[in-house]
Structure 1
């Protein structure tokens, strides 16, 4: 759920998050089979649980593929190990993988396409279009581009990189303020008739655009940031999805590494790390916001889990049509994330955790203001 670097003038959150947690270089001699064999057998798997996003069935936990070409610390992960992690995730029951043309650009679609080729028909692949990216060179220009002719070209490029003949779930990455959403829906419908797209969705859209899009062509899912660190979708997005029967996919469900305890009060971020320009991680706010991590650590001890598993399990417990998509570049984190599906709360426990988290007022903006400007945008009226 990537959004990536500090060039905020023309880029969105997902573009900024094209950076991921650092991955120590794996030994070049380690084979895929050897690496997968090192996964502890006693770690709970994703358990095969399934959920529905509209009419689309997916694993209860998905996996975001947006940082595997470059990590938050600006290091370049070892590509064979990224393939190993993705295949091991599938071994553990993850069947829902999410990426976008903007992640790289292009590179994460290529990584995902290579990784899942042996079992493509057993997984659900989601990707996204919408940024103003040259389909040939990958060069980014300012702003967005959801013109129908551009959508068609963008999808053809995604299909080639993903090594597939169809995209199971295609999102508009951000709402283009120059293109009526009905025109976007029309382009998607043509791609559906051709069998190149099976379902569609929106990300970080405005409320009226959500309703108009669903009326023009029923949506399968909405993808927004949502976690115990950022609960904004509770205001109107989740109620609207419930009303209309639309599934919800959570990007950044672990708060870019915050909710799993990877950050403390002394943490400072390097240039090129998205967290350096997020107000919630500024030194003056970080110490206060860590109260949320302390809460998760307390619950982790109580439930014999990890803080990250508690954060993911809380999301899973909110609605049966919510699916988190944590991303990682580390095998241990993937295994830990998959184990969240085994964590259960009683109604009293869930109420207690939610109330305690609600009492902690997170300080600082979740994104730089220039990036927030791309969220909750309304598409223009069709003339």
Structure 2
């Protein structure tokens, strides 16, 4: 698989990464054996960019993938995140960007992962009560200490990105971006490009909606957090399903799956973009990897844009309380 540069500090990752969150929480039943097999198949097929966070499974995801990262340390680029604080019972505490917490969270992640260094360390959500300069200053100290190689932010506003980048070079911004979440095209993506910051889209398949595999609300397990997502509820569900059906029709003309079309469209938006579609199953991993072989002409990209224009998805990306934590 080809490599893409993120930022100007030397970070290179596989064109397509792998989001590991669902291997430990949020998307229904957990199968750790299948998850670990999926990690190996990903690496065998050229995926070297793996994404986790300390909040996924309240540390369980880092513990799960840690041994695999140790065994393949010279081949993988590992990204993890801090900032979303949870109690051991899973309840949400809040966001912390306090310098002392940053360093404590990093040490805890390194311990769970069993590693000496994190390749890419993100602030998962911006703490509105702590100046970004203080948070990134503490993250910079981690780079100086050799505990972290590159810095990133997630769901930060254009102004915050600029201030953070002045404090210490930011290599990557991770924010939701897909055919049904294109708002970053207004300010966020242009800011990253102006500053030379790479862009890592999470949920590039619309939390699975763009795969075409979800056709009714009942397809979601009882403990699947998407049941509480506005885009999966009520009339929004059917309207968004209509959008997916348009994507499916275009995919048929390319002899590819809707997932592959959606990812190919995203990859075509720029060489500074490295999506991290998440999956815990080998079947879907291999399907996603197939997107790197799908080439779209300018005419086909225009057709896709017309079928899924900016703002075409119905409903907010998250529930109201979670939306308050974005673009700070």
TM-score higher than 0.5 here? yes
RMSD: 1.7
Is 1:199 the counterpart of 2:150? The answer is yes
Distance apart, 1:116 and its partner CA: 2.6
Change in Cα spacing, 1:266 to 1:220, as seen in structure 2 (3 Å) is closer
Is 1:329 the counterpart of 2:280? The answer is yes
Residue 270 of structure 2 is aligned with which of 312, 319, 337?
319
**Structure 1 residues without counterparts, runs of 5 or longer:** 1-47, 378-383
Q: Check conservation: 2:96, 2:127, Cα contact below 8 A.
A: yes
Is 1:62 the counterpart of 2:13? The answer is no
Q: Distance in 2 between matches of 1:350 and 1:281?
A: 26
Q: Check conservation: 1:292, 1:360, Cα contact below 8 A.
A: no
Partner in structure 2 of residue 36 of structure 1: none
Q: Distance in 1 between matches of 2:80 and 2:233?
A: 31
Partner in structure 2 of residue 177 of structure 1: 128
Change in Cα spacing, 1:139 to 1:368, as seen in structure 2 (3 Å) is closer
Q: Check conservation: 1:131, 1:145, Cα contact below 8 A.
A: yes
Partner in structure 2 of residue 82 of structure 1: 35
> Please, what TM-score do these two structures have when normalized by structure 1?
0.82
Structure with greater helix percent: 2
Taking the TM superposition and a 5 Å limit, the aligned residue runs for 1:214-225 are 214-225=165-176
Partner in structure 2 of residue 366 of structure 1: 317
Partner in structure 2 of residue 4 of structure 1: none
Task: Classify the secondary structure of the residue corresponding to 1:358.
Answer: coil
Residue 101 of structure 1 is aligned with which of 54, 72, 76?
54
Distance apart, 1:149 and its partner CA: 1.0
Is 1:264 the counterpart of 2:218? The answer is no
Change in Cα spacing, 1:368 to 1:161, as seen in structure 2 (3 Å) is same
> Please, what TM-score do these two structures have when normalized by structure 2?
0.95
Instruction: Report Cα offsets for 1:331-378 as digits up to 9, x if no partner.
Output: 10011011111111111111221122118722212110011010012x
Task: Classify the secondary structure of the residue corresponding to 1:295.
Answer: helix
Q: Distance in 1 between matches of 2:92 and 2:280?
A: 28
**Structure 2 residues without counterparts, runs of 5 or longer:** none
Q: Distance in 1 between matches of 2:258 and 2:119?
A: 32
Q: Distance in 2 between matches of 1:71 and 1:141?
A: 14
Partner in structure 2 of residue 233 of structure 1: 184
Q: Distance in 1 between matches of 2:231 and 2:77?
A: 33
Task: Classify the secondary structure of the residue corresponding to 2:80.
Answer: strand
Instruction: Report Cα offsets for 1:107-131 as digits up to 9, x if no partner.
Output: 1111111223221111100000112
Residue 210 of structure 1 is aligned with which of 158, 161, 174?
161
Change in Cα spacing, 1:185 to 1:341, as seen in structure 2 (3 Å) is same
Partner in structure 2 of residue 277 of structure 1: 228
Instruction: Report Cα offsets for 1:182-223 as digits up to 9, x if no partner.
Output: 111211111111111010011111221111000111100000
Distance apart, 1:271 and its partner CA: 4.1
Partner in structure 2 of residue 72 of structure 1: 27
What is the total number of aligned residue pairs between the two structures? 326
Residue 303 of structure 1 is aligned with which of 251, 254, 277?
254
